[in-house]
């Protein structure tokens, strides 16, 4: 049991790249974690980590030991999971990151329902549109929209999102309705992100094409851009779940519909070492179930 504990502490330390972060995840003291890694190195007679005041780096031997240890621990966890999964109840803290507007509109009612189903679960939710470092920042899971840059994460599809270009009727009366992406250069565009000039993607036949756009406002919050578009400040392109109500009641009008790109996929993503977590699996199952019921 001591060897397995040391192995697990070492793997967590490598994942977290920090004794302190590993200790927080494991519920141990930093001193204990450091001591156990040192004891492991002494028992093996090899340096596994290179320590400095700024960071920990894994040696070649340490990396080989880490990869083998991961597989061993996964097998141990799988063996225990095989026995306990039939009767186990999800419990503990789920640390979750999700995009702000998507979470407030979709996860708001779902998380309380999940916690009511599993009363021994608590949730720490951070709403942030940036792609957080799940391992480095200690998250169990994140909800992400669009292409996934980190191939080391396990991804599970839960829904899809369509991007729609739109503007207010007043704006279109004053400035005209664009009939092709190339005409956007003559229009004021409201851009998601932090750069004044952006690129919007459209489908031209069987291909996609990026169109450069610019305009008087940029923001990393879709609801702010939606409201600016309703006020007549320009065209914007946003996910359907943000603008659906405004399209339905006529405050916004879709443009360039023939050039819509393919829908983005919404994924629940989590690190490989969390794939056997009963809590992570229960919550991802719950999301898939509820979005399927909603037909999304």
Q: Are residues 132 and 68 in the same domain?
A: no
Q: Are residues 139 and 175 in the same domain?
A: no
Each residue's pLDDT tens digit, 59-90: 999 999 999 998 888 888 767 666 655 556 88
Q: Are residues 114 and 239 in the same domain?
A: no
C-beta of residue 113 within 8 angstroms of C-beta of residue 123: no
pLDDT exceeds cutoff 80 at 294: no
Instruction: Report how far residue 166's alpha carbon sits from residue 232's, in angstroms, rounded to the nearest whole number.
Output: 11
Q: Are residues 182 and 246 in the same domain?
A: yes
Q: What is the pLDDT of residue 197?
A: 63
pLDDT exceeds cutoff 80 at 196: no
Tell me which residue range forms the domain holding 133: 92-159+264-293
C-beta of residue 273 within 8 angstroms of C-beta of residue 15: yes
Residue that terminates a domain, selected from 41, 56, 84? 84
What is the domain-level CATH number for residue 50? 1.10.10.10
Instruction: Report how far residue 135's alpha carbon sits from residue 17's, in angstroms, rounded to the nearest whole number.
Output: 9
Q: Are residues 232 and 285 in the same domain?
A: no
C-beta of residue 151 within 8 angstroms of C-beta of residue 271: no
Percent of the chain whose pLDDT exceeds 70: 93
Q: Are residues 138 and 75 in the same domain?
A: no
Could you give the number of structural domains in the chain? 3
Q: Are residues 112 and 153 in the same domain?
A: yes
Percent of the chain whose pLDDT exceeds 90: 49
Q: Are residues 73 and 208 in the same domain?
A: no
**pLDDT confidence band for 216 (50 / 70 / 90):** very high
pLDDT exceeds cutoff 50 at 128: yes
Contacts of 57 (CB under 8 A, 6+ apart): 49, 50
Instruction: Report how far residue 74's alpha carbon sits from residue 184's, in angstroms, rounded to the nearest whole number.
Output: 52
Closest CA to 201 of 166, 165, 229: 165
Q: What is the pLDDT of residue 1?
A: 47
Q: Are residues 234 and 174 in the same domain?
A: yes
Instruction: Report how far residue 10's alpha carbon sits from residue 181's, in angstroms, rounded to the nearest whole number.
Output: 53
Strand partners, 208: 203
Q: Are residues 150 and 281 in the same domain?
A: yes
What is the domain-level CATH number for residue 224? 3.40.190.290
Each residue's pLDDT tens digit, 17-38: 888 888 888 888 888 899 999 9
Residue in the structure block whose two tokens are 């932090």: 194
Instruction: Report how far residue 100's alpha carbon sits from residue 252's, in angstroms, rounded to the nearest whole number.
Output: 22
Whether pTM > 0.75 for this model: the answer is: no
């Amino acid at each position: 049991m001591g060897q397995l504990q040391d192995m697990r502490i070492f793997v967590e330390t490598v994942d977290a790249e920090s004794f302190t972060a590993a200790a927080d995840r494991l519920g141990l003291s930093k001193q204990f974690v450091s001591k156990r890694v040192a004891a492991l190195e002494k028992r093996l007679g090899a340096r596994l980590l290179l320590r400095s005041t700024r960071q920990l780096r894994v040696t070649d031997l340490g990396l080989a030991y880490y990869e083998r240890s991961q597989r061993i621990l996964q097998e141990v966890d799988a063996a225990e999971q095989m026995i306990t999964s039939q009767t186990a109840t999800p419990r503990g803290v789920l640390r979750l990151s999700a995009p702000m507007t998507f979470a407030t509109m979709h996860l708001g009612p779902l998380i309380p329902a999940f916690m009511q189903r599993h009363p021994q679960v608590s949730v720490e939710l951070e709403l942030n549109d940036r792609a957080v470092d799940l391992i480095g920042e200690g998250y169990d899971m994140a909800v992400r929209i669009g292409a996934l840059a980190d191939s080391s994460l396990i991804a599970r599809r839960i829904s899809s999102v369509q991007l729609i270009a739109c503007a207010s009727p007043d704006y279109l009366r004053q400035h005209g309705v664009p009939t092709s992406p190339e005409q956007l250069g003559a229009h004021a565009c409201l851009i998601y992100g932090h750069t004044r000039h952006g690129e919007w993607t459209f489908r031209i036949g069987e291909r996609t094409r990026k169109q450069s756009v610019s305009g008087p406002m940029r923001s990393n919050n879709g609801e702010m851009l939606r409201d600016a578009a309703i006020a007549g400040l320009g065209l914007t392109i946003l996910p359907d779940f943000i603008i659906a109500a405004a399209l339905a009641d006529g405050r916004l009008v879709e443009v360039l519909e023939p050039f819509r790109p393919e829908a983005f996929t919404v994924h629940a993503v989590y690190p490989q070492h969390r794939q056997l977590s009963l809590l992570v699996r229960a919550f991802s199952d719950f999301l898939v179930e509820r979005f399927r019921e909603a037909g999304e």
